[in-house]
Structure 1
Amino acid sequence: MIRKRTNDRSANRPQRSSLWQNCTNLRGLKQVHAFMLVNGFNSNPYALRELIFASAIAISGTIRYAHQLFAHITEPDIFMWNTIIRGSAQSLNPLNAISLYTQMEKRHVKPDDFTFPFVLKACTKLSWVKMGFGIHGRVVKYGFESNTFLRNTLIYFHANCGDLNVARTLFDGSAKRDVVPWSALTAGYARRGELGLARQLFDEMPDRDLVSWNVMITGYVKQGHMETARKLFDEVPEKDVVTWNAMIAGYVLRGLHEQALEMFEEMRSVGERPDEVTMLSLLSACADLGDLDVGQKIHYKVLELCSGDLSILLGNALIDMYAKCGSIERALDVFRGMRERDVSTWNSVIGGLAFHGHAEESINLFIKMRRLKVRPNEITFVGVLVACSHAGKVEEGRGYFSLMRNEYKIEPNIRHCGCMVDLLGRAGLLNEAFEFIDSMEIEPNAIVWRTLLGACRTHGNVKLGQRANERLLEMRRDQSGDYVLLSNIYASRGEWDGVEKVRKLMDDSGVRKEPGCSLIEADDRALMQFLFDSKPKLNSRNHIFCVSNR
């Protein structure tokens, strides 16, 4: 147990300072800690403060070690409390900051005006409005509301997730020469979609900092006003990587991928170094474009950025990009070279293999995933079911569908059901496919019925095709492909009266088939995106999934 002494002797400070200067990672931190223990500094308050500060704030990626150290200090002083709370608030898990503040209160340690800003920042990150209001009450109780830094933090909290009226009241009572409250309130209005009020404040600001410029650009990007965002971007006196990332991400989100890549080239030409966020946006653009050549160039830049050691996010993005660009071998190379993987990593490869016709490899990878105790999620099972469908493995598909529900307690969504209908339809089990749709606990959509209609066309089943088409027309009557599929079923059986009836039905509904359209409109990359992306993007060219590649 580390004990804090009341006497704070300053002997040997130069020696400890030189040690901290050379401490840049967890290994170095542990070495310095060991030196402290051996030389008796572990009971010195000054040394403990240095240790907590280094592990919680100064050295990246050591916050967990800071918590372990802090737990063994019997009487941490207010500086140590504030430091560990600050580090926790800035970490990926700001909930720890709230937890530490609660412990602090239980141990009757009186907070000071440095404590509350860090707790409020954690509340803002977590959008914990009720807790934030409670902290505001304590700020007033302790008489800290006049503290400029704390007041600005309160404005930031209320502007982002609290009460905008309170934020405005605090702002009106603040020293308006300070750019921070202006930026905080402007950011709050922009992030809540109040771009008009945000722009009014922005235009009135006596001095604009880079945060304000970035907030306004991001606000316009989120609203889809790319021209206005670009105009502001061109006016920014001095840009940083956040400014560039906002524009690149905006172009990608709007499907303007060429502009995103041009912006990246412009970014490089002025000497701005991209970061992980930049590369993630660009990889997404390459995946959507299907541009393998550009994707490979971005891959090289990624390797330069991270010195060959891929993060999980970048690795996943590379796998997704290569799979959607049709290079499953390169996707597998990235997968094999990753030191750390998460479930999304496995999902991307399992799905990519399935869509590139490597069904056996996809299923084997899923088996390996389970063997390694990586818990699959709903996206994993979409990939496995697609693999079973393409390989004609009906029994295995039924088994995995049951496994998903019974062992992993994952309720099937519309994509799982669509895959099962396709699995059964490809195998010619059309009656079973109809029964499956009737037994679905969720309402079948037009895509499910279109999938079954496509299966009826493949197997020339007019009767069931009519039934599927009737259900489809109950949902929509404006898609020419739906009529064409039924017409082709009749034509394949030589039932020309049926073909004429379908054509008349199209005319009566005012539907026109565009010249040159394929009878089964499908796009494998779009299909893959629909099944595996969290926010699928559909358009008139990719309504069918699981019907392609018949």
Structure 2
Amino acid sequence: MVYFVGHVTSSYRWKAMIRRAAPRRSLRELKRVHGLMVVKGFNSDLQCLGDLLLSAVCSLHVEYAYQLFAQITQPDLFMWNTVIRGAAHSSDPLQAASLYARMAETGLRPDSFSFLFLFKACAKLKSSSAAAAGAQFHAVCTKLGFESDAFVRNSLINLHARCGDLGVAMALFDGPAKRDVVARSALILGYARKGDLSVARQLFDESPCRDVVSWNIMISAYSSHGEMEKARELFDAAAERDVVSWNTMIAGYAQCGLHAQALEVYEEMQTAGWKPDEATLVSLLSSCSNSGALALGQRIHWSLLESCSRNGLSLLLGNALIGMYAKCGCVDRALQVFEGMTERDLWTWNSVIGGLAFHGRAADSIRIFEQMQGAKISPNEITFVAVLAACSHSGLVKEGRRYFSLMINEYGMEPNIKHYGCMVDMLGRAGFLREALEFVEWMKVEPSDIIWRTLLGACKVHGNIELAEHARKQILAMQKDASGDYVLLSNVYALTGKWGAVEETRKSMDERGLRKAAAHTVV
């Protein structure tokens, strides 16, 4: 909170007041400062407005910065650069190019900072758009003589490397940039993203000096390509480490399914005196989820409850905890975390709905889905897979039909093979075999062997020979036959006393060289 004491009478005092404030200011505080500037007659002071604009951008209130900028009749280059910088860091970086075009129309000549922010914006665009926009601004930058600026050159190397234009990036790198660790790191990252790890490693090995960023980039390059042994070698050899180094190793092991190693690195991290950050804990909780390490997951949760008691869990950590508890079978704990979260996104809702459905809590799963609709959160395809699965496992056929219709008619979604599979499973379990067949024939996508096996399994439960034979023929036509299909069909025959058909099925298995899978019985 900012307090105003006495009467601010000079632009110097306004500037001092704005700059003394915390870097991350609330929108309310910014508006209060602006309001007082208007009241005290400083609303036309360009220096004060420039500082306020910069404060808005640095506080990530970009929309407010745009509104403030629109009220300035003759913005100077500093102000234009400030809003271009805000756009470059926003969710709509293309706006930076639009602002530059407007600035050019006023006759203002850009400086090196203008291009730094523009290249930053281009790097955030999709690869095709980034390359086109980057090439245009690169040409203007060269024409105006800014390419020789070390910071601009590094930014250009980073842009072209990110866009995959490694030939251009390497050409810029040839010369003084070879001694620049930032330029070299950008180029290493570009080759690593392209998958050319040998060139990336050569650039790394040839580096006259390496900082922690360059070490982390190379470790991450190996980790992202699943080469964890090489990543570990570099990690052990690193002259210095930071929390990103540890996080890279933990996340790499987790993504490769090497969860025991991920947890070991975490133990090493603590022993070395490093404090985990949010990224560390999210990766760890992912490993706990996939390895079933519930005890460690609970310890992490307890430590978070102590450290986040005032502000609560962040969205990322809350989602990670829900996923961990749901996968480890503790759905009640997942619900507790969900109910205690002040901020939720679609992933949060889907994790709870899916976790409850998976563990047979259909009524709770549907209840949370209804809450989601009440909160005006639009579900996606994953949401409906979970809801339809819940209806299937609990025999809620009427509700399942309604939700399937809701997905198509109200939300305009095209069902995929998973949605169709849930519906066939639901109808088959409930004994609506003829309707299930009609549903398969009505599908807008080609039925998979899994769809027909689902129907075949339902025929076994309800003893429908005719439909079972039809489903079996469809699977054979796809050349997807397996021993389990014969077992299911044989069991349907046995349930209805057709022992000759059982024997024929057994012979067919022998002729095709299929062996009965463990735990399957051919009567």
Tell me whether the two structures share a fold, i.e. TM-score over 0.5. yes
* 1:345-402 C-alpha deviation (Å, 9 max, x unpaired): 2222222222232322322332232233221211121122112212222222122212
Q: Which residue matches 1:457? A: 460
Q: Which residue matches 1:273? A: 275
Alignment of 1:89 with 2:91, yes or no, is no
Cα drift, residue 413 of structure 1: 0.6
Judged with a 3 Å threshold, the aligned counterparts in structure 2 of structure 1 residues 312 and 238 are, in CA distance, closer, same or farther, namely same
* 2:179 partner SS: coil
CA distance in 2 between partners of 1:272 and 1:92 (Å): 32
Cα drift, residue 162 of structure 1: 4.5
- Aligned positions of 1:420-459 closer than 5 A: 420-459=423-462
CA distance in 2 between partners of 1:418 and 1:508 (Å): 31
Q: Which residue matches 1:380? A: 383
Q: Which residue matches 1:52? A: 53
Q: Which residue matches 2:230? A: 228
CA distance in 2 between partners of 1:510 and 1:22 (Å): 78
Cα drift, residue 11 of structure 1: 4.7
* 1:373 partner SS: coil
CA distance in 2 between partners of 1:518 and 1:101 (Å): 69
CA distance in 1 between partners of 2:442 and 2:425 (Å): 15
Judged with a 3 Å threshold, the aligned counterparts in structure 2 of structure 1 residues 477 and 404 are, in CA distance, closer, same or farther, namely closer
Q: Which residue matches 2:417? A: 414
Q: What is the percent sequence identity of the aligned residues?
A: 57
- Aligned positions of 1:86-485 closer than 5 A: 86-126=85-125, 127=127, 128-303=130-305, 306-307=308-309, 308-477=311-480, 479-485=482-488
Higher relative contact order (CA 8 A, sep 6+): 1
> Quick check: 88-97 or 233-242, which moved more?
88-97
CA distance in 2 between partners of 1:302 and 1:81 (Å): 42
Q: Which amino acid in 1 is paired with 2:99?
A: L
Cα drift, residue 222 of structure 1: 1.7
Cα drift, residue 18 of structure 1: 4.8
**Aligned 8 A contact 1:382 1:419 in 2:** yes
Cα drift, residue 476 of structure 1: 5.0
* 1:176 partner SS: helix
**Aligned 8 A contact 1:446 1:476 in 2:** no
**Aligned 8 A contact 2:487 2:520 in 1:** no
CA distance in 2 between partners of 1:306 and 1:41 (Å): 41
CA distance in 2 between partners of 1:386 and 1:485 (Å): 22
Q: Which amino acid in 2 is paired with 1:236?
A: A
Cα drift, residue 241 of structure 1: 2.0
* 2:402 partner SS: helix
Count of residue correspondences: 508
CA distance in 2 between partners of 1:227 and 1:325 (Å): 29
What 5-or-longer segments of structure 1 have no aligned partner?
1-9, 520-550
Cα drift, residue 93 of structure 1: 4.1
Alignment of 1:68 with 2:92, yes or no, is no
> Quick check: 206-215 or 189-198, which moved more?
206-215
CA distance in 2 between partners of 1:376 and 1:75 (Å): 46
Judged with a 3 Å threshold, the aligned counterparts in structure 2 of structure 1 residues 151 and 394 are, in CA distance, closer, same or farther, namely same
Judged with a 3 Å threshold, the aligned counterparts in structure 2 of structure 1 residues 84 and 434 are, in CA distance, closer, same or farther, namely same
CA distance in 2 between partners of 1:21 and 1:509 (Å): 81
Judged with a 3 Å threshold, the aligned counterparts in structure 2 of structure 1 residues 339 and 270 are, in CA distance, closer, same or farther, namely same
Judged with a 3 Å threshold, the aligned counterparts in structure 2 of structure 1 residues 119 and 302 are, in CA distance, closer, same or farther, namely farther
Cα drift, residue 518 of structure 1: 6.1
What 5-or-longer segments of structure 2 have no aligned partner?
1-8
**Aligned 8 A contact 1:160 1:192 in 2:** no
> Quick check: 84-93 or 390-399, which moved more?
84-93
**Aligned 8 A contact 2:285 2:297 in 1:** yes
Cα drift, residue 216 of structure 1: 1.3
* 1:60-115 C-alpha deviation (Å, 9 max, x unpaired): x4334333322322222111222222233234443343343233234443211111
Cα drift, residue 186 of structure 1: 1.0
